[in-house]
């Protein structure tokens, strides 16, 4: 059992359906085969694949209000179709290559992101440090969290599913891009090292609202 600190690093995410989660986990295993020491090890119940919508450090006492805000937004949003159009790579702040499934930024996804960002901006809490993460987090993880609004939000928002460290081939056996899928669930998660999602604080159905709290992902 992890004690919840006074300030918590959280990520509001969209959860892909089971087959897409499995596809991401399989790609992660390919990366780990070439880099056994890779520090991102995806799984269905812990460190699960996701599409980040908004990250922030929040006070523990504000979590119920944040859940209520996201619940209202989720209830007003229909399930959305997403498209993985490419395997993309970028350099982390430490110079390592990170591979991701790049997702097209549709109008509905961009609007959902903007709405969540605007609703939760007043809840950003400072200062922050490693204890706010679910597990021990290096300095780059803290920097990623603090810089999200400046470097990864609004017009800079680039939706993706992080696959892990390493250079994943653009063509993967058994995967014919583009891949389209429907997302019906969102969640508020606690962030772990490398801004992975480690624990579900609350889950939401798009168009229906809260379906779980303080649990694991529903797949």
CATH number of 7-213: 3.90.1140.10
Higher pLDDT, 134 or 191: 191
Q: Return the axis-axis angle of helices 63-75 and 107-120, rounded to nearest 10°.
A: 150
Measured CA to CA, the distance from residue 72 to residue 125 in angstroms comes to: 22
The whole-number average pLDDT for the span 66-77 is 96
At 146-175, the pLDDT tens digits run 778 888 899 999 999 999 998 887 767 788
Quote the tokens at residue 56: 């922030």
Q: What is the rounded average pLDDT for all residues in the chain?
A: 86
154 to each of 60, 151, 157, 180, how far by Cα in Å? 25, 9, 5, 23
Model confidence at 18: pLDDT above 90: yes
At 85-126, the pLDDT tens digits run 999 998 876 778 889 999 999 999 999 999 999 999 999 987
Higher pLDDT, 214 or 79: 79
Task: Tell me the backbone φ, ψ of residue 182, rounded to 5 degrees.
Answer: -105, 135
Which pLDDT belongs to residue 216?
A: 47
Measured CA to CA, the distance from residue 175 to residue 168 in angstroms comes to: 13
Are 55 and 11 contacting, i.e. CB atoms less than 8 angstroms apart?
A: yes
Which of the four pLDDT bands, split at 50, 70 and 90, describes residue 218?
A: very low
pTM strictly above 0.85: yes
Model confidence at 135: pLDDT above 70: no
Which pLDDT belongs to residue 140?
A: 57
Quote the tokens at residue 96: 């390592």
């Amino acid at each position: 059992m992890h004690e919840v600190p006074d300030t918590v690093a959280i990520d509001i995410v969209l959860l892909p359906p089971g087959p897409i989660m499995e596809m991401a986990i399989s790609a992660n295993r390919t990366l780990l085969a070439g880099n056994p020491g890779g520090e991102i090890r995806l799984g269905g119940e812990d460190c699960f694949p996701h599409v980040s919508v908004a990250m922030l450090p929040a006070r523990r006492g504000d979590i119920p209000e944040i859940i209520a805000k996201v619940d209202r937004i989720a209830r007003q949003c229909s399930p959305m179709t997403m498209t993985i159009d490419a395997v993309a790579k970028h350099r982390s702040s430490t110079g390592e290559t990170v591979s991701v499934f790049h997702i097209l930024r549709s109008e509905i996804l961009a609007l959902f992101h903007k709405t969540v960002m605007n609703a939760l901006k007043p809840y950003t809490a400072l200062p922050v440090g490693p204890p706010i993460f679910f597990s021990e987090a290096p300095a780059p993880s803290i920097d990623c969290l603090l810089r999200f609004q400046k470097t990864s939000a609004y017009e800079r928002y680039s939706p993706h599913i992080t696959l892990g460290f390493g250079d994943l081939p653009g063509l993967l056996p058994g995967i014919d891009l583009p891949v389209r899928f429907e997302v019906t669930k969102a969640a508020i998660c606690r962030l772990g090292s490398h801004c992975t999602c480690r624990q579900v604080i609350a889950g939401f159905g798009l168009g229906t609202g809260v379906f779980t709290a303080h649990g694991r992902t529903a797949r």
